[in-house]
Amino acid sequence: EADIYQTPRYLVIGTGKKITLECSQTMGHDKMYWYQQDPGMELHLIHYSYGVNSTEKGDLSSESTVSRIRTEHFPLTLESARPSHTSQYLCASTDRYEQYFGPGTRLTVT
Amino acid sequence: SQQGEEDPQALSIQEGENATMNCSYKTSINNLQWYRQNSGRGLVHLILIRSNEREKHSGRLRVTLDTSKKSSSLLITASRAADTASYFCATDEGNAGNMLTFGGGTRLMVKP
Q: What is the CA radius of gyration of chain B?
A: 13
Cβ distance of A42 and B103 shorter than 8 Å? yes
In chain A (110 residues long), the average pLDDT of successive 10-residue segments reads 89 96 96 93 93 91 91 96 95 94 97
Distance from CA of B16 to the nearest CA of A (A): 25
Is residue B2 very low, low, confident or very high in pLDDT (cuts 50, 70, 90)? Answer: very low
Distance from CA of A103 to the nearest CA of B (A): 4
- The residue of chain A nearest to residue B5, with distances taken between CA atoms, is A42
Cβ distance of B98 and A94 shorter than 8 Å? yes
d(CA B24, CA A87): 26
Residues of B at the A interface (Cβ-Cβ below 8 Å)?
2, 4, 31, 33, 35, 40-45, 48, 86, 88, 90, 92, 96-105, 107
Is residue B92 very low, low, confident or very high in pLDDT (cuts 50, 70, 90)? Answer: very high
Is residue B3 very low, low, confident or very high in pLDDT (cuts 50, 70, 90)? Answer: low
d(CA B19, CA A58): 33
Contact B42, B50 (CB under 8 A): no
d(CA A34, CA A87): 12
Percent of chain B with pLDDT over 70: 96
Cβ distance of A45 and B103 shorter than 8 Å? no
Chain A residues with CB-CB distance to B108 below 8 A:
none
Q: How many CB pairs under 8 A join A and B?
A: 66
pLDDT for B33 beyond 80: yes
Report pLDDT digits (tens) over B63-76: 999 999 999 999 99
Cβ distance of B48 and A41 shorter than 8 Å? no
Phi/psi zone of residue B30: left (φ > 0), alpha (ψ -120 to 50 degrees), beta? alpha
Q: What's the mean pLDDT in B38-42?
A: 89
d(CA A33, CA A4): 12
Measured CA to CA in angstroms, residue A99 lies from A93, B8, B101 at distances of 5, 24, 12
B31 closest CA partner among B8, B47, B43: B47
Which one of B90, B99, B107 has the shortest CB-CB distance to A48?
A: B99
Residue-averaged pLDDT of chain B:
93
Task: Output the pLDDT for position B1.
Answer: 39
- Count how many residues are written for chain A: 110
Cβ distance of A41 and B104 shorter than 8 Å? yes
pLDDT for B36 beyond 70: yes
